[in-house]
Amino acid sequence: MYVLMISLAVLTVGPFVYLLLGSLVKGNLLTLFRTGEWLDPARYTLQNYLGPDGVWATFSRMRLFENTVLICAVGVTLELFVSALAAYPLARMAFPGRGLVFALMLSTMMLPAQATMIVNFNTIRFLGLYDTYAAVILPSAASVFGIFLMRQAFITVPKELDEAARIDGAGDFTIWWRIMLPLTRPALGTLAIFSFVGYWNSFIWPLVVLKHENKYPLAVGLQFMAEVFDKTFGKIAAGSILSVIPIIAVFLLLQKQFIRGITAGAVK
Amino acid sequence: MRLGGKPTPDSTARQRTLTAYLFLAPALVALALFTFYPIAYGIYLAFTDYDMLRHTPQGVLVPPRFVGLDNFAKLYRDPYFWTALTNSALYLLVVPVLQVLAMAVAVLVNQRIAGVRLFRTTYYIPVVTSVVVVGIAWNWVYQSDGPLNALLVDVLGLPRVGWLTDGRVALFSVMLVTVWQGLGYFMMLYLAGLQGIPPEYEEAARLDGAGPWLVFRHVTVPLLRPTLALCSVISCISAFKVFTEIYVMTRGGPEHATLTLGYLIFDTAFKDYAMGYAAALSLVMGIFVGVISYVNLRYFREGGLTYYA
């Protein structure tokens, strides 16, 4: 059993280890493997990361981390807000058109993203948002996955709580803000992580709506770097490692919420 | 939000509806603008000639011109379309491979043994990594003088393979990357499915003298059918519309050997700016995706045990 699991783990992390070693070593990694020199600590250096033309300098010049963090922060907040708002009436109220709203939302889950990209590109240009972060964020503001996840969480909140608050004179917005949101923090956390990973790794859409390299988020900037101006393995590998460290760290820290999200999406 | 005076039942009902829609408004506006409108308008664009690089002498973009079925006639005669369709259909081969492997790995990590959590976590790491980094890593692994060929030539004494440069192999090389990256995701879904099965079922079978394989084949797998259906639909849709892996690793090459529908649409729309034609290609892809999902759900619903679905 362990033999199987360990070999699978080696296959899984192998490419990452190859990137990591390649980013740290001076010279060709495979040649060093053959000669056994890869065991020599003197062969290792942080030059590719911290050198004058290392990736840290390139990333700073392109503002890749700043751009990505900004997109993630605004994008995640907006997605949480919009999803949690929409989930409230779907969990707690009976109103005409509810079934239709549900059906409309469900229908979008089947659609491939490419189907909407062309027209959305048009819309973004028409709204004068081409080459702005609003263009990157707005199309994914309403996430149907997020709405359903939050609705599921709201349903588990005991109804007596909002009824009590209503008797005390609270309106729906107050109930949502003061009772629902604080009691569904785990679900909000789950949604936040999913949304964060999505924005952090987003590639095609920012590539399409952003023109200037200094606005690119990480994934787009890294691809641009690998393709256009830095083709040495050491540098690209260092850039890749640098860009995955935060996301893997977030995943390792918040695994529990993450896994809950995957399975919540599945059981429906 | 309260009206002054005594609310009549009718006015409270109207008020409740209004409140409900106020809460829904941001989501509905965003969905309408960026999901429903693009679908409707995209269908219309598929029947037009719309070149985003064509401007009038005054510098105004020439609007879409209705051309009936011209785009579809063009598509029918376009050899690249047929190549792309074939490759996208071939790409569906990742689905059975992924599902069988993921189910096996899920069973493997569903045991109560030391360190099993660590393995689950490890297998999931590729899922949270961006396709760009995955593509960069595998590009180097696949290089003609890369580690994979070194293993092949130096250790096993086989001839080297042009993983991404040989047209007969390239598509399969990219498919392997999709399997590698997707395995952890589907493993997690199957794991959730496995843990949702009441243990009594398997115990009962075991008491009747069934061995582990028989229990798995005749008790576990049928009970996993809802999960299998869901995974198979998700996997088919994403395989058929594969784009990013292709973009990062091969750009549809060599000689269009890895040209898929998703890549062809992107190229047509955002390199040639032939939006009408790209919309027609998207519509065709959308129809295929719909048919594939329908067939999947039909197939899995028949005779499936759906006790908790």
Residues B31 and B128 in one domain: no
pLDDT digits (tens, 9 = 90+) for B51-101: 888 888 887 888 888 998 999 999 999 999 999 999 999 999 999 999 999
Specify the pairing of strand B65-66 against strand B48-49: antiparallel
| Alpha carbons A142 and A145: distance in angstroms, whole number | 9
Average pLDDT for residues B177-202, to the nearest whole number? Answer: 89
Check if the beta carbon of residue A76 is closer than 8 Å to that of residue A228: no
On whether residue B1 sits in a domain, the answer given is no
Nearest one of B209, B293, B133 to A203, comparing CA atoms: B133
On whether residue B4 sits in a domain, the answer given is no
Give percent of chain B above pLDDT 90: 45
pLDDT band of residue B1 (cuts 50, 70, 90) is very low
């495979």: which residue's tokens?
A30
**pLDDT score for B16:** 87
Check if the beta carbon of residue A265 is closer than 8 Å to that of residue A145: yes
> Which residues of chain A does B227 touch, with a Cβ-Cβ cutoff of 8 Å?
266
pLDDT digits (tens, 9 = 90+) for B14-39: 888 999 999 999 999 999 999 889 98
Angle between helix axes B79-91 and B70-77 (nearest 10 degrees) is 70
| Alpha carbons B34 and B20: distance in angstroms, whole number | 22
Name residues 25-44 of chain B within 8 A of A (Cβ): 26-28, 30-31, 33-39, 41-42
Residues B55 and B145 in one domain: no
On whether residue B73 sits in a domain, the answer given is no
Q: Where are the domains of chain A?
A: 2-45, 58-267
Residues B61 and B94 in one domain: no
CB contact under 8 A, B286 and A111: yes
pLDDT digits (tens, 9 = 90+) for A191-224: 888 899 889 988 989 999 998 888 999 999 998 8
| Alpha carbons B208 and B212: distance in angstroms, whole number | 12
Lowest mean pLDDT across A34-48, A168-182, B167-181: A34-48
On whether residue B106 sits in a domain, the answer given is yes
On whether residue B309 sits in a domain, the answer given is no
**Which token pair is B248?**
């990062």
**Which token pair is A6?**
């360990």
Residues B115 and B237 in one domain: yes
Domain count, chain B: 2
Q: Which CATH superfamily is domain A58-267 in?
A: MetI-like (1.10.3720.10)
Task: Report CA-CA distances (Å) from B67 to B264, B278, B297.
Answer: 21, 14, 36
Domain containing residue B56? 9-66
Would you call B188 an interface residue with chain A, using a CB distance cutoff of 8 Å? Answer: yes
Q: What is the DSSP letter of B211?
A: -
**pLDDT score for A255:** 80
> Which residues of chain B does A5 touch, with a Cβ-Cβ cutoff of 8 Å?
108-109, 116, 119
| Alpha carbons B89 and B249: distance in angstroms, whole number | 19
Would you call B113 an interface residue with chain A, using a CB distance cutoff of 8 Å? Answer: yes
pLDDT band of residue A254 (cuts 50, 70, 90) is confident
Residues B154 and B290 in one domain: yes
Contacts of A248 (CB under 8 A, 6+ apart): B125, B128, B129
Residue to test with chain B: of A29, A119, A194, A255, most B Cβ within 10 A = A119
Q: Which residues of A201-238 are buried (b: 16+ CB within 10 A; e: fewer)?
A: bbbbbbbbbbeebebbbbbbbbbbbbeeebeebbbbbb
| Alpha carbons B225 and B145: distance in angstroms, whole number | 44
Of A5, A122, A267, the CB nearest to B119: A5
- Whether the pLDDT of residue A260 is over 90: the answer is no
Q: How close B226 gets to chain A, by Cα (Å)? A: 9
**Which token pair is B182?**
């997707």
Residues B58 and B192 in one domain: no
- Whether the pLDDT of residue B302 is over 70: the answer is no
The full 3-state SS of B46-66, as one line of letters, equals CCEECECCCECCCCCECCCEE
Check if the beta carbon of residue B254 is closer than 8 Å to that of residue B167: yes
CB contact under 8 A, B31 and A233: no
**Which token pair is A225?**
């770097």
CB contact under 8 A, A243 and B128: no
pLDDT digits (tens, 9 = 90+) for A68-95: 999 999 999 999 999 999 999 999 988 8
Would you call B288 an interface residue with chain A, using a CB distance cutoff of 8 Å? Answer: no
**pLDDT score for A111:** 65
Type of residue at B249: M
User: What ipTM does the predicted assembly reach?
Assistant: 0.86
**Helix (H/G/I), strand (E/B), else coil: B257:** coil
**Domain endpoint, select from B39, B66, B93:** B66
pTM: 0.87
On whether residue B59 sits in a domain, the answer given is yes
pLDDT band of residue B233 (cuts 50, 70, 90) is confident
**Which token pair is B148?**
């994979």
On whether residue B157 sits in a domain, the answer given is yes
Contacts of B223 (CB under 8 A, 6+ apart): B197, B201, B305, B307
Q: What is the CATH number of the domain that holds B284?
A: 1.10.3720.10
- Whether the pLDDT of residue A267 is over 50: the answer is no
Q: How close B122 gets to chain A, by Cα (Å)? A: 6
**Which token pair is B75?**
């598509």
**pLDDT score for B3:** 47
- Whether the pLDDT of residue B222 is over 80: the answer is yes
Of B28, B138, B265, the CB nearest to A114: B265
Lowest mean pLDDT across A85-89, B253-257, B268-272, B298-302: B298-302
| Alpha carbons A138 and A105: distance in angstroms, whole number | 17
Nearest 10 degrees: Cα torsion B53, B285, A265, A7: -100
B98: region left, alpha or beta (phi > 0 left; psi from -120 to 50 alpha): alpha
Residues B295 and B170 in one domain: yes
Type of residue at B35: T
> Please, what is the end-to-end C-alpha distance for chain B in angstroms?
39
Taking the mean position of all CA atoms in its chain, how far away is CA B77? 27
Residues B167 and B51 in one domain: no
Residues B37 and B131 in one domain: no
**pLDDT score for B259:** 96
| Alpha carbons B63 and B54: distance in angstroms, whole number | 9
On whether residue B72 sits in a domain, the answer given is no
